[in-house]
A = this chain, B = another copy of it.
Amino acid sequence: MTVRNGREFLSIPGPTTVPDEVLAAMHRPAADIYGAAMIATTESCLADLKQVFRTAGRTFMYIGNGHAAWEAALSNVLSAGDTVLVLKSGRFAAGWGEMAAALGVRVETLERDQRRAVDPAAVEALLRQDRAGRIKAILVVQVDTASGVVNDIPALRRAMDAAGHGALLMVDAIASLGTMPFEMDEWGVDVALTCSQKGLMMSPGLGFAAAGPKALAAHQTAGLRTRYWDWTFRMGDEHYMKYCGTAPVHLLYGLRKSLDMLLAEGLANVFTRHRLLADAVRAAVAVWAKGGALDFNILEPAERANAVTTVLTGDANPAPLLAWCREKCGVVVGIGIGELSGRAFRIAHMGHVNAPMVLGTLSVVEMGMQALAIPHGKGGAQAAIDSLARAVPATGP
């Protein structure tokens, strides 16, 4: 006895729901990679990515995932033996650091309570000690998909400036770009990166990097450069150089469409939508948490991301709940990963997501807790409804 057969709800933090329009855009015959149409698509995507990263710098498109973007970013500005500072606040900055270490880079890590965002003051203090400028780059994520934290990137830049430190500020915006403000140039970010399958609403398979002037200068002497990732090669004139080889035709068809949709809605509107939906999810979780069994992973409300909410399940493994939601109702909720494996679940609210998708997901999770007798404060879904009803005005555009 299930009420599952209908459209599956994919409420995981990546790959997110790909809009039908984007899937349709990918459903076209292949094209001549030397043709004018394909070249124009490449150029317009690179230009629009500047708008999304909010930079006048250079943008790059890699056939690859987020890890590919990580390696691309590292190898283009660092040399073996360089030191980087990883600001840990979940799983992914650490993972990026492991990748750097595998490249022969020395990695120092600033840790904090794993349920908090990076502390800018601690960063400033640490940097003040590095008078020799040993630290070449700082690696930080804006939103950690595992922990659900959001870091305050402008505050980190202010901390670096206050310390008078010249390290590159390298930001992983994988789980944040297209879900909340990111101002690469205004915030003084030197290298930013993301990939296609989160806020950009595309199928996984493309990684993106953006480089500012300081990063491009560091690139000149970077010893880790290899041909496939190399920015210099990719800034060459010929079309195939943009991808170091064959262009990913169908992925580009999709990206072109998803960027069109993102820019048509308007970044400010996209961010508002994400904020309101995240508020609704948080309203629900706050109610559920009153039951004593669940809690937000991130302790400080201001440090909870608008893209994903990680919910701790204490001693109880969330697997039965997630299986119930998936098998009985067709809702796929994200598992906890890394240190939170078996101890948390994650509700994604990023990308192509609207009120009924979020409310449908919350309703099913609450149903599941009720059906499985998981202690929870009743009325979470109702609180989400109330939150949105207050926020979305009766009239106006």
Contacts and interface: CB of A to CB of B under 8 A. Distances in A.
A18 B32 CA distance: 12
A109 interface: no
A23 B63 CA distance: 19
A193 interface: no
A16 B30 CA distance: 7
Interface in A311-354: 324, 328-332, 335, 352-354
Interface stretch (A124-132, A133-141, A150-158, A363-371): A363-371
B273 A67 contact: no
Contacts of A205: 63, 205, 248, 250-251
A64 B67 contact: no
B14 A31 contact: no
A385 interface: yes
B385 A265 contact: no
B246 A204 contact: yes
Contact of A265 (B5, B20, B246, B251): B5
Given A71-B227, A356-B360, A18 B2 contact: no
Nearest to A253: B203
A1 to B, nearest CB: 6
Contacts of A370: 385-386, 389-390
Interface string A261-279: 1000100011011001100
A117 interface: no
Interface residues on A, range: 35 or more
A392 B3 contact: yes
A203 B363 contact: no
Contact of A4 (B103, B335, B355): B355
A381 to B, nearest CB: 6
Nearest to A195: B246
A204 B331 contact: no
Given A17-B6, A102-B226, A203-B250, A393 B371 contact: yes
A24 B20 contact: no
29 contacts: A1-B269, A2-B273, A3-B355, A3-B358, A3-B388, A5-B261, A6-B352, A6-B354, A6-B355, A7-B17, A7-B19, A7-B20, A20-B29, A33-B204, A64-B228, A75-B226, A103-B227, A203-B249, A204-B247, A205-B248, A328-B355, A329-B355, A355-B364, A356-B364, A366-B389, A370-B385, A371-B393, A371-B394, A381-B385
A171 B350 CA distance: 43
Interface string A108-127: 00000000000000000000
Contact of A63 (B28, B34, B63): B63
B67 A228 contact: yes
Given A35-B332, A363-B363, A10 B27 contact: no
Contact of A197 (B5, B30, B354): B30
